[in-house]
Chains A and B, each alone.
Chain A
Amino acid sequence: MSTAVSTQLLDVLSGAILLTAVLTLWRRDLASIIRLVTIQGVLIAGLALLLGVDEHSTELYLAALGVLILKAVILPTILRRVLRDSGEVRETAPLVNVTASLLAAAALTLLAYVLSGPLVALAPSAATRALPVGIAVVLLGFFMLVTRRRALSQVIGFLLLDNGITTTAFLATSGVPLVVELGVSLDVLLVVLVLQIVAARMRMAFGSTDLDGLNGLRD
């Protein structure tokens, strides 16, 4: 593949990853948020595949396959099951309303751009120049974790955070060693499973997964 084509593909993929992260903040419908996270997983796998083709690295192909299976198949399946069991179809009352979240997302993206400036300057290439995308997705994930009330939205915020870290790793170092990647992926899977159980317990105890219900003590 010629450099120009692969650079353009890389740009389109990174742009799309950022776009899906932003759209998860925009949508209220939890089912479509899960769909967006799935798409983001596919895009990240595509990014790994593209870098693998560029560097002729089998390890990156395997990483791409692993990312695809975990982020686009297993995790969305678990999330969909949580959604079906909970019966809450919308993020009703985020702590920060959607308009303000979108404006905050704009500010966070700029922040990511400023933060990654020195990193990009270390080794400028097409992949590292897209580094702000990864960092922006991390920041957006944090933002979603902090401002959403439903347990499911918070899990998705956590996944966004992890997707951001994976993207940053791929863009900055063309992929961490497969062992590390595997370890991180298993960690994420475990966290999501634990959170699923926690959400189920919360629903049994409180009737909803509004995490603010955990703030007060009661008899």
Chain B
Amino acid sequence: MSTQDTVISVAAALVQVALIVVGAPYLTGLMRQVRARIEGRAGPGVGQPVRDLRKLLHKEATRPEGTSVVFIAAPLILMASSIFLAAVIPFVSTVAAVGGVSDLFAVVAILLLGTVSLALAGLDTGTAFGGIGASREVTIIALVEPTILLAIFALSVRVGSSDLTDIVAGTLASPAQVLSPASLLAAVAFAVVIIAEAGRLPVDNPSTHLELTMVHEAMVLEYSGRDLAMVELAASMRLALLLGLGVNLFAPWGVATSLTPLALLLGVVMLIVKVALVGVALAVFEVFMAKLRLFRVPELLAGSLLFALLAVVASYFLT
């Protein structure tokens, strides 16, 4: 790779990061707005999460007495892992800036790192809610992580590489594979996983603080000011990351395969359009869903794990 190419690919990675960091709150805002409109409310507007973040960033962060470095470090780790993932997952182009890092197992492990650090922070506060939230989150994550691994692994079988860039490039090269049984099953499993991992209905309700049901909100209850802003931003980013990863794995059209500026621009536009579409679809879906009883959640997740496993098996015996 020549020096110029390296510069462009680094630039492409930076564009991805900027896009996710700036776009994620707007995605959350868009989803809330769509939901509000369907429910017959006026809604606060697409920019409301950004305004919230700006307000929180100007406020002092208080820390509960007796919390350790875990509590302070968790938002930073969550944020850092999200930014790292935004740089390495092939969102805009399949030419990786940092080769070999976008491996499926590395990406899922780093995704898990953020979740676990937040769960530990929830435990660190020593409050009842923090503990409840952490325990619920870990219950969910125990089934979610293997499902993500298996679902993407099903796609990686036919490419013969566990590198996400190779998987996306492989699907781009032969689009007919999108309709294979393995790919469809994996898509269903991945959709359930996105909903669970990002804490959306019917697994978790992101808009309530009801102690019977909350998962993510219970863990971050003690955060305030700058720290809360970071946690909120990271949560939006993770939703955007997962949706972006999902659309690029199962419908990678528009992703740049070369490093020409025009292709990159097309990649950026297509990513925004696709993620916005999927986000709106998810918001519409949520309007019609009721929160699942917490004890029924493992059932849903076991189902999605089974789908992912069937996808892997099918990718072996159904060509």
Given known contacts A7-B319, A126-B319, A12 and B181 CB-to-CB distance under 8 angstroms: yes
**Which chain A residues in 155-186 approach chain B with CB under 8 Å?**
none
Is there an interface contact between B298 and A19, defined as CB atoms closer than 8 Å?
Answer: no
Given known contacts A11-B181, A109-B310, A109-B313, A129 and B299 CB-to-CB distance under 8 angstroms: no
- Complex alpha-carbon distance, A41 and B100, angstroms: 46
Q: How many residues of B contact A (CB 8 A)?
A: 21
Q: How many A-B residue pairs have CB under 8 A?
A: 69
Is there an interface contact between A15 and B305, defined as CB atoms closer than 8 Å?
Answer: no
B246 within 8 Å of A (CB atoms)? no
Using CB atoms, name the residue of chain B closest to A23. Answer: B303
Which of the segments A42-50, A84-92, A99-107, A199-207 contacts the partner chain?
A99-107
- Complex alpha-carbon distance, A214 and B184, angstroms: 43
B289 within 8 Å of A (CB atoms)? no
Is there an interface contact between B185 and A109, defined as CB atoms closer than 8 Å?
Answer: no
Is there an interface contact between A109 and B316, defined as CB atoms closer than 8 Å?
Answer: no
Chain B residues with CB under 8 A of A7:
319
Indicate with 1 or 0, residue by residue over B179-202, a CB within 8 angstroms of chain A CB atoms.
Answer: 111101100000000000000000
Given known contacts A103-B302, A130-B318, A109 and B309 CB-to-CB distance under 8 angstroms: yes
Indicate with 1 or 0, residue by residue over A17-56, a CB within 8 angstroms of chain B CB atoms.
Answer: 0110010001000000000000000000000000000000
- Complex alpha-carbon distance, A133 and B184, angstroms: 16
**Which chain A residues in 106-162 approach chain B with CB under 8 Å?**
106, 109-110, 113, 116, 120, 126, 129-133
B306 CB contact (under 8 Å) in A12, A16, A22, A116: A22
Chain A residues with CB under 8 A of B302:
98-99, 102-103
Given known contacts A7-B319, A8-B179, A113-B317, A26 and B303 CB-to-CB distance under 8 angstroms: yes
B149 within 8 Å of A (CB atoms)? no
| Chain A min CB distance to B164 (Å) | 24
Is there an interface contact between B305 and A14, defined as CB atoms closer than 8 Å?
Answer: no
Is there an interface contact between B314 and A15, defined as CB atoms closer than 8 Å?
Answer: yes
Is there an interface contact between A15 and B319, defined as CB atoms closer than 8 Å?
Answer: no
Main secondary structure of the interface of A (DSSP, over half): helix
**Which chain B residues in 149-200 approach chain A with CB under 8 Å?**
176, 179-182, 184-185
| Chain A min CB distance to B151 (Å) | 13
Is there an interface contact between B306 and A129, defined as CB atoms closer than 8 Å?
Answer: no
Given known contacts A11-B181, A14-B181, A15-B185, A102 and B317 CB-to-CB distance under 8 angstroms: no
Is there an interface contact between A19 and B318, defined as CB atoms closer than 8 Å?
Answer: no
Using CB atoms, name the residue of chain B closest to A128. Answer: B317
- Complex alpha-carbon distance, A12 and B306, angstroms: 18
B305 CB contact (under 8 Å) in A11, A19, A106, A126: A106
Indicate with 1 or 0, residue by residue over B292-313, a CB within 8 angstroms of chain A CB atoms.
Answer: 0000001100110110011001
B313 CB contact (under 8 Å) in A11, A102, A126, A132: A132
Chain B residues with CB under 8 A of A22:
306, 310
Using CB atoms, name the residue of chain B closest to A12. Answer: B181
B317 CB contact (under 8 Å) in A16, A99, A103, A129: A129
A11 CB contact (under 8 Å) in B299, B303, B306, B318: B318
Given known contacts A99-B299, A129-B318, A130-B318, A106 and B181 CB-to-CB distance under 8 angstroms: no
Chain B residues with CB under 8 A of A103:
302, 305-306
| Chain B min CB distance to A102 (Å) | 4
B299 CB contact (under 8 Å) in A102, A130, A131: A102
| Chain A min CB distance to B185 (Å) | 7
Is there an interface contact between B306 and A106, defined as CB atoms closer than 8 Å?
Answer: yes
Is there an interface contact between B299 and A19, defined as CB atoms closer than 8 Å?
Answer: no
| Chain A min CB distance to B91 (Å) | 29
Chain B residues with CB under 8 A of A102:
299, 302-303, 305-306
Chain A residues with CB under 8 A of B310:
15, 18-19, 22, 106, 109
Given known contacts A15-B318, A99-B299, A110 and B309 CB-to-CB distance under 8 angstroms: yes
> What are 17 A-B contacts with C-beta separation under 8 Å?
A8-B180, A11-B180, A11-B181, A11-B318, A12-B180, A14-B318, A15-B182, A15-B185, A26-B303, A102-B302, A102-B305, A103-B306, A106-B306, A110-B309, A116-B317, A129-B319, A132-B313
Binding site for A on B (CB under 8 A): 176, 179-182, 184-185, 298-299, 302-303, 305-306, 309-310, 313-314, 316-319
Q: Across chains A and B, which 8 residue pairs bring their CB atoms closest together, nearest first?
A: A15-B181, A11-B318, A102-B302, A99-B302, A106-B309, A106-B306, A102-B306, A99-B299
> Besides A8-B180, A15-B185, A102-B306, 14 other CB < 8 A contacts?
A11-B181, A14-B318, A15-B310, A19-B310, A98-B302, A105-B306, A106-B306, A106-B310, A110-B313, A116-B317, A120-B317, A129-B318, A130-B317, A132-B313
Binding site for B on A (CB under 8 A): 7-8, 11-12, 14-16, 18-19, 22, 26, 98-99, 102-103, 105-106, 109-110, 113, 116, 120, 126, 129-133
